[in-house]
Amino acid sequence: MRAAFALCAALLFAPPAFAADPPVPKLFRDIAAEKGQWRMHILEIERDGQAQRPRVPTISLCTDNVLKPQEARKAGRAACSYRLERDTADAAVIESTCPDRTSRVALNREGANSVLMQVESRGPRGLARMKTRFTYEGACREGATPP
């Protein structure tokens, strides 16, 4: 599940540093999305039609570390392509295609600092769905989990 947290953080907060990066939707323009503390609350997880119980339903993420270049992350994304299907101030849909999976991420702004994210991913392990709420909390705090 930690990989899912990292994927969510990368899709939401990574700035476009190279061609294989996911696009940053307009709905993040008024939120300090690139750096800071985010609370991630997992609302639903489903794998192959079976509801899963999250091991950790709420986690704090410090996205400051997302901005640091990581060669392994770059290499993994190089084979992926991203398409922004919808991009408004209140909603976005991003589709990603990688050699081992395809994903569709729907983002809906719920307030000034809150985003509802729904992810559907298909890969070798089957279909997975996750619904998560991200809330921006400000500058990173001591003890926050890096993605």
Taking only the tens place, the pLDDT of each residue in 108-147 is 999 888 899 999 999 988 999 999 999 988 888 765 555 5
**What confidence tens digit (pLDDT) does each residue in 21-39 have?**
677 788 877 775 557 888 9
Which pTM does this prediction carry? 0.74
In whole angstroms, give the CA distance from residue 24 to residue 120.
Answer: 18
Chain segment 84-115, per-residue pLDDT in tens? 999 999 999 999 998 889 999 999 999 888 89
Burial label, 68 (beta-carbon count in 10 A; 0-12, 13-18, 19+): exposed
Residue 78 or residue 95, greater confidence: 95
